[in-house]
Amino acid sequence: MEPSKLYAVCDYIILFMEEEGLFLNVVKLQRLLYIAHAWHLAFHSHTPLLSEGFEAWKFGPVNRTIHNRFRGRSSFYSPITIADRWFSDPAEPLTILSVSEREHLDNILNIYGDMTTLELEEMLQHEDPWRLARVGLSPEETSSRDIPDEVIYAYYKRVSQI
């Protein structure tokens, strides 16, 4: 995947959260990225929002590229601000993301954006994709196991029909 798409989605989330006055840190960004990707698979005929996947880390799904991007921070729980954007021009993500993708992100962020980091973590840790990827691991065990898009799609598609 070209990182510009992933970074455009991240910047879009950062700008949305800043404009809405909602708190964002690296962990919450990771969770929102995963949720946006998961629902995109379910609502857009198995089409991924991001071609780069997620791993089943001990506290929830993680995109390694985004983890590496923010690795030097003193804490993954410290706030993300406009200064943390990848693109210097705030209009740049709008040229990379389609109208449909931006509308999808708006919908996801309007639903999940005001949840706390802990609420998002707890929610995702009870969902099948993350749990299945961690079968056989203790709760404290680290992991870089992939969470397959097929499993994410099947779960979110099923949940969307309830």
**pLDDT (tens digit, 9 = 90+) per residue, 30-60?**
999 999 999 999 999 999 999 999 999 999 9
At 41 the pLDDT is 97
Return the closest-CA partner of residue 33 out of 69, 4, 9.
9
CB under 8 Å to 145, separation ≥6 — which residues? 55, 56, 133, 134
**pLDDT (tens digit, 9 = 90+) per residue, 6-34?**
999 999 999 999 999 999 999 999 999 99
Compute the average pLDDT of residues 112-134: 97
At 134 the pLDDT is 97
Amino acid at 36: A
Domain encompassing residue 62 = 3-160
List, in sequence order, the alpha helices (H) in 44-127: 64-69, 92-96, 99-112, 117-125
CA dist 64 and 66 (Å) reads 5
**pLDDT (tens digit, 9 = 90+) per residue, 67-90?**
999 988 767 888 999 999 998 888
At 74 the pLDDT is 65
Q: How many domains does the chain have?
A: 1
Q: Is the pTM of this model over 0.85?
A: yes
Q: Answer for the pair 83, 21: CB distance below 8 angstroms, yes or no.
A: no
Structure tokens, 138: 């203790």
At 73 the pLDDT is 74
Compute the average pLDDT of residues 145-160: 97
At 2 the pLDDT is 55
Structure tokens, 58: 């001990």
At 1 the pLDDT is 43
